[in-house]
Amino acid sequence: MSEPKPPTPTPGDTYKGWLFKWTNYIKGYQRRWFVLSNGLLSYYRTQAEMGHTCRGTINLATANIAVEDSCNFVISNGGAQTYHLKASSEVERQRWITALELAKAKAVRMQAESDDSGDDCPAVPPASGQGGGCRNSEIQSTLRTLNSKVEDLSTCNDLIVKHGSALQRSLSELEAIRVGGEMGEKIRQVTERATLFRITSNAMINACRDFLSLAQNHSKRWQKALQTERDQRIRLEETLEQLAKQHNHLERAFRGATVLPPSLSNLTLGTKGGVSGKGDASDEDDDNEFFDAMEDPAEFITVPADPKYHRRSGSNVSGFSSETGMDDQSFDELSLASNPESPQPLELEPVRQRRTRIPDKPNYYLNLWSIMKNCIGKELSKIPMPVNFNEPLSMLQRLSEDLEYYELLDKAAKCQNSLEQMCYVAAFTVSSYSTTVHRTGKPFNPLLGETFELDRLRECGYRSLCEQVSHHPPAAAHHAMSEKGWTLRQEIALASKFRGKYLSIMPLGSIQCIFDKSNNHYSWKKVTTTVHNIIVGKLWIDQSGEIDVVNHKTGDRCHLKFAPYSYFSRDVPRKVTGVVTDKDGKAHYVLSGTWDEKMEFSKIMQSSKGENGTEGKQRTVYQTLKPKEIWRKNPLPEGAENMYFFSSLALTLNEHEEGVAPTDSRRRPDQRLMEEGRWDEANAEKQRLEEKQRIARREREREAVKAASSPEEADAQETGTEASEVSESTHPDNYQALWFEKIDDTVSGEALHVYKGGYWEAKEQGSWDMCADIF
C-alpha cells in the first residue's frame, strides 16, 4: 500500500515525510523521517522516535538550499552541518524545496524582527548534547504557538470592538423608533448582531482559555528548567573554586617537594617539554565511536632549569662536571650534532622532475554487505578484498616511506656524542608514523618475490630496496644505505586482531640502524596501529604503545611512550614522550611532541624525586633547558585530500621508472589500474594475480613433497593416489628470497633477512634473468 502524498506546503505549515539521507561511504543513503516546523528541519530514524530522540536539527534561517539533480538536494549552514538528501521522485523533491524555501523566508523574517526587538526577549541558549537541537526546537515551537494565540486574541478583540459598536448602534436605533411595522425588522437586526457578538466573545474566551492553559503548563516547566540551570551554575562555581584551591595547594606542595626557587612557578605536568596544544585533527560525524583508553599518570615532570645552568662556563656548577657545562654550550651555540670536524654535506641536485599529482580518487559507492555476505565461513587471510579499501601503493612502498625524513639520520651520523645521536634516531622512529594520520586506505599486499627500489642516491644520498620474502606469514625485508654513513634494515611481519569496533595491527620484527663512523648499532620495534570505526562511522587511526630504542654498543637507551587517544584526556592528542638515558640509567634528554606534527628535545640539567602520583608511584622531576625542535612534519601537497592524503614522497613512489626489476611494485598492473581510477579492471586483475600466486605456491609445495618423498611415495604419486595430498601439508613452501638471505642476528637474537647484494649490479647491467614472472 503506497503512502499518501503530502499536501502542497503553505507558509507556516508543519511539513513531514520520508527522505533518504547520506550517512557515509559504507552505509550510503539511509531512509529517515524529516519534520519541518517553525524554521527548523529535524530528522529521526523512525516516526516513533519523534517523542524522545532527535538525530539532528538544522536552522533554515542561516542555511543554504541547493538542488543537485532531479531527486537530490543539499542543505548546509556554512560547514558545521551539511545534509545530503534524496527524494523518491522529482515531484516529491519539489514539494520539499518549496516547503524549505517558504520556511527559510519566514525564519529569516522572524529572526530580523527578533533582532530589532533588542533585549526585550532574551534568546534561549542552545542546549548541549545530541538532543540540544530538539529541545531548542521544542521551546521555539512553544513560543511560536503562544505568539499565534496572542494574534488570535488580537483578532478576536478587533471583532468584538466591531460587533459591539454595531450592536450599540442597533440598540440606539431601537429606542428611537416608533412602535409599528419597523419594530420587527429592527429587533431582527439587533438579534443577529447580538448573536455575532456572542459568537465572537465565545471565541475570545476560548482563545484566552487556551493561552492561559498553555502558558500555565509551560510556565512550570520553564521555571523548573531555570531553577536547574541556576543550581548547575552554583555547583560549577563551587567546583571551580575547589579546583583553584587544589591547584594552589599542589603548586605549593610541588615547590616544597622539589626545593625549587620561587621564580620557577611555571610547571608542565606530564608534558615532558611543554608541547603546545593543538586543535582537532578532523571533524567527526555523529556516528563516530571514540576509543576511551585508560590515561596513565605522568611518569615524570619537567620544569625550567635554574638560570645558573644557562651560564656557559666550563667550571663545575652545583656538582655538575665541566663536561656537562661544555655539553650545554655545544647545544646552545651550535646546532645539535654539528661540529667543526664533521664533513661538509655534498651538494645534491635533483636528476629529474618528480610528479606532484596523481589522478583524483574516484567516488565509488561500496556496498559492504555485498562483500561480507560472501566471506562468511572463510579464513580472514583468504577473503578477496576489493581495491575499494586500498590505496594505490604496496606495503613495500609504505615501508620505503619511513625514509621521508632521512635527514634525521644524516644529522645523527655527524654526531660525536652517542646521546645526542640517540635523540635523532628516536625522532626518526617517531617521524615514520607522521604519514599515517589520515591514511585509512589499506596498502596492497605484496606478491611473493615482489620488490621495490627507491633510488635517491644522486638526489638525497641514499638508495633502498624492499622484497617480499614470505607469504604465510607475510613478511617484507627492507635495506637502505646512505653515502652519509648509515645503514637501515628491517624485517616486518604483521599480525592483526579484529575487535568488532576496531582493528589492531601489531608489527612483528625489529628495525636496526648502524652508523659506519662510530659503529653504533641501534634497534627498536614498532608500536601498535589501531583503525577505529571499522563497521560504522568515519575511519580514524591511532598509534599506541612503547618503544625502546637501544644502542647495543654503548648501552644508551631511549624509552618512547605513544599515548593512546582518550576522549576524556586533557593532554594533546597523539602525544609522544621519551627520556634518553645512558647505560647507568642516568637521564640526559627529554623528548616530547606528537607523532603527527613535531618533536622537541630538552637537555636535563638536574633531576630529583617529587611527590607520589595518583597510583602511589614516585615521579621524577627534571630541570631542563628550553626545548628545541628536532623534527617537524612536512606539509601535505595541495589537494592531498583527493589523492589518498599522500605526502610529496608518496606521490612519487608509484611513478614510472626506467630500468627497475620486472618484479618492482611500479609494474604491478592492478595497482596501476587503481591509481588511474579503473577500479573494476583493477579488481579483476587483482583476482588474476592472486590466483596466479596460489598456483605457483602449490607447484612449489609439490616440488618440495617430491624432493622429500621416498621412491615408494613417488610411485604412489605417479599412480594417482592421494599420498601427495597427505604429504603436502607436512612439507612447507621452500621459497628462497632472491636478494635477501636469512641469518641469525646476534644483536636481536632473532632470525631475519638481510640484504646479500647483487641487485644494484644487476640493474646497472640490465640483467634480470633471475627474476620470476609474478605479474
Three-state SS across 411-471? HHHHCCCHHHHHHHHHHHHHHCCHHHCCCCCEEECCCCCCEEEEEEHHHHCEEEEEEEEEE
Confidence of residue 322 (pLDDT cuts 50, 70, 90): very low
pLDDT of 175 > 80? The answer is: no
- Calculate mean pLDDT across residues 487-501: 84
pLDDT of 119 > 50? The answer is: no
Report d(CA 723, CA 712) in Å as an integer: 10
Among 112-121, 263-272, 517-526, which stretch is predicted with the lowest mean pLDDT?
A: 263-272
- pLDDT at residue 316, rounded to an integer: 38
pLDDT of 661 > 90? The answer is: yes
Our CA dihedral for 765, 770, 773, 775, rounded to 10 degrees, sits at -50
pLDDT of 635 > 90? The answer is: yes
Among 156-165, 186-195, 339-348, 388-397, which stretch is predicted with the lowest mean pLDDT?
A: 339-348
pLDDT of 476 > 80? The answer is: yes
- Calculate mean pLDDT across residues 649-670: 93
- pLDDT at residue 20, rounded to an integer: 93
Report d(CA 630, CA 420) in Å as an integer: 11
* H helices present in 266-360, as ranges: 322-333
- Calculate mean pLDDT across residues 157-179: 72
Among 241-245, 328-332, 603-607, which stretch is predicted with the lowest mean pLDDT?
A: 328-332
pLDDT of 182 > 50? The answer is: yes
Q: In this predicted model, which residue has the larger pLDDT, 365 or 288?
A: 365
Confidence of residue 720 (pLDDT cuts 50, 70, 90): very low
Q: In this predicted model, which residue has the larger pLDDT, 649 or 388?
A: 649
- The backbone torsions φ and ψ at residue 262, rounded to the nearest 5 degrees and listed phi first, read -60, -25
Report d(CA 556, CA 574) in Å as an integer: 26
pLDDT of 159 > 80? The answer is: no
- pLDDT at residue 714, rounded to an integer: 52
pLDDT of 544 > 60? The answer is: yes
Question: Where are the domains positioned within the chain?
Answer: 14-111, 142-176+183-236, 379-542+648-688
- pLDDT at residue 374, rounded to an integer: 53
- pLDDT at residue 367, rounded to an integer: 59
- pLDDT at residue 350, rounded to an integer: 52
- Calculate mean pLDDT across residues 399-428: 94
Confidence of residue 188 (pLDDT cuts 50, 70, 90): confident
pLDDT of 531 > 80? The answer is: yes
Best CA proximity match to 135, nearest among 62, 229, 233, 212: 229
- The backbone torsions φ and ψ at residue 695, rounded to the nearest 5 degrees and listed phi first, read -65, -45
- Calculate mean pLDDT across residues 459-465: 94
- pLDDT at residue 117, rounded to an integer: 53
pLDDT of 688 > 80? The answer is: yes
Q: In this predicted model, which residue has the larger pLDDT, 472 or 133?
A: 472
pLDDT of 730 > 70? The answer is: no
Question: Whole-model pTM?
Answer: 0.58
Among 235-249, 292-306, 344-358, 589-603, which stretch is predicted with the lowest mean pLDDT?
A: 292-306
Using DSSP, state whether 30 is helix, strand or coil: strand
Confidence of residue 754 (pLDDT cuts 50, 70, 90): very high
- pLDDT at residue 366, rounded to an integer: 62
Report d(CA 289, CA 268) in Å as an integer: 31
* CATH of 14-111 among 3.20.20.140, 2.30.29.30, 3.40.190.10, 1.10.132.20: 2.30.29.30
Q: In this predicted model, which residue has the larger pLDDT, 173 or 87?
A: 87
pLDDT of 509 > 60? The answer is: yes
Report d(CA 533, CA 422) in Å as an integer: 36
Please state, rounded to an integer, the average pLDDT across all residues of the chain: 77
**Residue 446: Cβ within 10 Å count:** 27
Confidence of residue 723 (pLDDT cuts 50, 70, 90): very low
R_g of the chain, CA atoms, integer Å: 37
pLDDT of 281 > 80? The answer is: no
pLDDT of 129 > 50? The answer is: no
- pLDDT at residue 328, rounded to an integer: 43
pLDDT of 87 > 60? The answer is: yes
